[in-house]
Amino acid sequence: MIQLVASDLDGTLLLNGSQSLEPEVFEYIRQLQKQNILFVAASGRQYDNMARLFGPVKDDIVYICENGSIVFYHDKVIHKSIMDRALGQEMLHAIMEKDTAEVLLSGEHTSYLQPKQAAYEHRMTNIVKNNVTVVEDIMAVQEAYMKISVYEAAGIEESMSYWKERFGERANVVTSGNEWLDMMPKGVNKGMALIKIMEQFNIKPENTIAFGDQYNDLEMLEEVAYGYAMETAHPYVKSQCKYHTRRVQDVLRKIISKENDFFQVHQGIFE
């Protein structure tokens, strides 16, 4: 039987650049909870941003934040990974040296920015709606580093290989959307964080479903019994998943109502 549902946000539960969840998502989460199914929101976003997104049900779910670097439940940290500071400073230097790249340094409750363009600060503050701390010198931030991100407004594809070649041996380097590349401590990803959650809640992989669309979702999709790629997912991500869907809500509805066609595809899922 299904005991856990995990979903990525941007490009998965949030489609077409949306920055707010459809009201039906909250009702589906309530229905899952009534059936003792844990919902896990998994994103490269910060916790405070995610908690605002899930406002009506924010205390009823688990949050994998910063691509697995930190996990929250009931407003408390239940798992955290810290990046080596010397490595992090090398990353920050490299991003600041690249004219077209903007930097985002993730702390536990805020995103540190040293914007090169006003449009970037506006995007993070007013569109993405992160907790944002603008600093004059990103190198002087004293808080422990959770994650370091590169934002390229024109798209990250062309520079992706550069970042992977430079830091991929020492960190987990993944794309997290068309404009974003995230760097976390080696071995840190959404899949690792999901394993920690399953251990804490005594849930077996065969009782889990996950949804995603980007490279930063791959480990999570591999750790569950039923990994769903979105129809709009990166082609490689789609190729790695047996199951595809247009909307997460379509599958949630079938889980909740135990629809026959879903039962036939996933034999034993409701036993």
103-119 pLDDT, tens digit per residue, is: 999 999 999 999 999 99
Domain assignment present for 74: yes
What CATH number did the domain enclosing 219 receive? 3.40.50.1000
CB contact at 8 A, 39 and 62: yes
Last residue of a domain, one of 130, 160, 185: 185
Total domains in the chain come to: 2
Position with higher pLDDT, 216 vs 113: 113
Domain assignment present for 247: yes
The token pair that represents 156 in the structure block: 């990250």
> Does one domain contain both 178 and 113?
yes
The token pair that represents 41 in the structure block: 């929101």
> Does one domain contain both 89 and 75?
no
Taking the whole predicted model, whether its pTM rises above 0.85 is answered as yes
> Does one domain contain both 110 and 142?
yes
What φ, ψ does residue 181 adopt, rounded to 5°?
A: -130, 130
| Stretch (H or E) spanning 219 | helix 218-223
List beta partners, residue 106: 111, 147
Position with higher pLDDT, 122 vs 264: 122
> Does one domain contain both 180 and 193?
no
Domain assignment present for 104: yes
Last residue of a domain, one of 185, 208, 225: 185
pLDDT at 271: 41
Domain with 17 in it: 4-80+189-265
What CATH number did the domain enclosing 125 receive? 3.30.1240.10
User: Which range has the worst mean pLDDT, 43-52, 172-181, 199-208?
Assistant: 172-181
Cα–Cα distance measured from residue 127 to residue 17, given in angstroms and rounded to the nearest whole number:
10
Domain assignment present for 99: yes
261 has pLDDT over 90: no
> Does one domain contain both 70 and 91?
no
260 has pLDDT over 90: no
Domain assignment present for 141: yes
> Does one domain contain both 155 and 90?
yes
Domain assignment present for 106: yes
128-169 pLDDT, tens digit per residue, is: 899 999 999 999 999 999 999 999 999 998 889 999 999 999
pLDDT at 262: 60
HSE, CB side, 13 Å, CA atoms: give it for residue 143: 15
Beta pairing class for 76-80 and 70-73? antiparallel
Last residue of a domain, one of 159, 185, 211: 185
Q: How many residues does the chain have?
A: 271
pLDDT at 226: 95
Q: At what angle do helices 248-257 and 23-34 cross, to 10 degrees?
A: 30
Cα–Cα distance measured from residue 109 to residue 238, given in angstroms and rounded to the nearest whole number:
32
pLDDT at 263: 55
